[in-house]
Structure formats: structure tokens, C-alpha cells
Structure 1
């Protein structure tokens, strides 16, 4: 597979992680670079690991996970996004908090944004494509975009406050809905 093709696949896969990083970045007030590196590493790592799992599982895994992956991603993103909106409106807390939301929240976000990469790995297996360079490219692109997303989100959060947190929650719900509708309609 050509490098340009793999790069485009990587960019496409990283868009959900980028959007979630912007959303979560709205609550990062201190240690912006540290959190950008943490989120970039976590999201990039999961985005790189999922194609490997798909590639190893091949077609057998596709029949099981493929049917439920959009629903899983939708439910996870809708729950997290809904919580963000409610907490921002009620001013109970902050949105998806990378800094205090806990490892469980971060892992759920990483899984939810990388489920589609599992299907890409299955596709690589079916096409008999070597997995190493695509996985490295996918991980690096996702790392870079996610880290940048945290920094962008943090800047917007400082300027617009809770309004951006509500928008971030709506974006997460929208991403989950898009994943589900793509599955149901196409």
C-alpha cells in the first residue's frame, strides 16, 4: 500500500481523536503541554493498537465486532458527551476532564475513538497488507493531531469558558451519532 494512502487513512482515523482532544482540552488550564503529550500518547497508542488487533483477528473478528462497534462507540461517546453537557449547564464540574476525570474516562475515550481502526486492521489482513508501517503512521498522526487538539481546546476554553464545554459535549455526541448513522445508513 502506498504511503500517501496510508497517510490519508491515518488522518481519517485520527479525526475523532482530534475532535475529542479539542473537547477535553477545554478544561486543561495548567500543564497544557504535559496533558497534550499524555493524551496524544494514549490516543495514538490505542489508534495504533486497534489495527494490530484487527489484523491479528482477521475476518473472524470482523463478524463479531463489526456489527457492534458503531453501537459501542455511540454509547460511550454519547454518555461522556451527555455528562459534559449536563455538568457544564449545571455548573457542577467541568467537561471531560483530562486532568481529574480519571483513567477510566481517558481509556473509554481512547477506545471509543479507535474502534474504527479495528476495522482498518481487518481490511489490512484481508488485503494481505503488512501492518508495521501503517500502524506506526496511524499512531504518529493520531498522536500529533490529538496533542494539537488538547492545545487548541485549552486556548478556546480559556477564552470562552463553559460555552466551549457544552459545545465539546455536543461534539462528542455528534461524533457518536455520525458513527452510528454511517453504520445504519451505509
Structure 2
């Protein structure tokens, strides 16, 4: 359960970074709007692991001997991608438009990582419904707070959220690899 909470925080960091940017750019957001933003990000972060799980479960029996390597590559790759995105820091154009269409596009874009992690859940025989629910709830709560933080602290924290998420994903990838190969 502890690892799942850490993973949920890591997966939420893309959404948190965008939520901080939204708060920074739109300082007059009202509570219902902030609640909706957090809800949309939470829902997509919760749905995407289910989709990934369904994909992964369809071929997990064929790759059981090296599933830990697949989980390792996916998590480290996603973590590296998050670190690269934090380095590029291209949120400015994305968050100027707060239409539902843009919000959903951002929610999908920030939850693709969660779909890839859902594939690893199939290999690790994780209860996908509990995992998806926790990921959705953690994302919702963190994004709710992130918009408010963005309103107060501006864009200072956007890249830091993605860096944290990337490092956590890389760490979890190594943890899975070490546990399944008995390296340590």
C-alpha cells in the first residue's frame, strides 16, 4: 500500500505541475472551477491505469519471466521523460486557455504515464480497482491544493513537481528490478 501511495504521488506530479501553472496564470479562479480542474485530472489519472491494465493483462502470461524488466524500463523511461519535460518547461502556452476541451486534452496528456503504469500493474498482479481509485483520489487532492499554491507562488514550483515525480518513478523502477532479481 505504501508503494502504491508513493506511485500515486509520482503519477500525479504532471497534473500537479499543470495545476500550479493554471493557478499561476488564472489567479481569479473560484472554488467550483478549481474543484472541476482537480476532478478532471483525478478522473483521467484513475481511468488510464485501467486501460493500461487491460492491455497488459492480455499479454502478461507471455512475458512473466521478464515482466520486472518491462516494469523497470517503463518506469525509468517515464521518469526520464518527466525530468526532460521539467527541463523544457513549456507550460505557458498550454494553460492560458481554460476551456473544457483544453482541460480534457491536458488531463489526457498528463495521464498517459498512468496508462503505462497500468500495464506494469498487470505484470505485478496488482488489484487494479484499488490502485486506480487511490491514484485518482491522490491526484484530485494534490491538484486541488496545487491550483491554490499556483495562485500564491506562481510558476516557481512547476518544474520542481515534475522533477520530484520523475525521480520517484525512476526509484520505483529500480526498486521493482532489485526485488525481482535479488540484486540487493
Q: 2:13 aligns with which of 12, 15, 20?
A: 15
Mind listing any 5+ residue stretches in structure 2 that lack a counterpart? 61-69, 175-184
1:12 and 1:170 map into 2 onto residues whose CA distance is 13
Within-5 A mapping of 1:51-130: 51-58=49-56, 82=90, 84=92, 96-97=94-95, 100-130=97-127
What TM-score, normalized to structure 1? 0.64
Q: 1:82 to 1:124 in 2, by over 3 A?
A: closer
Equivalences, count: 153
**Displacement after TM superposition at 1:9 (Å):** 1.1
The 3-state SS of whatever aligns with 2:98 is coil
2:111 and 2:132 map into 1 onto residues whose CA distance is 12
Q: Which residue of 2 aligns with 1:152?
A: 149
- Which is further off, 45-54 or 111-120? 111-120
Q: Which residue of 1 aligns with 2:26?
A: 28
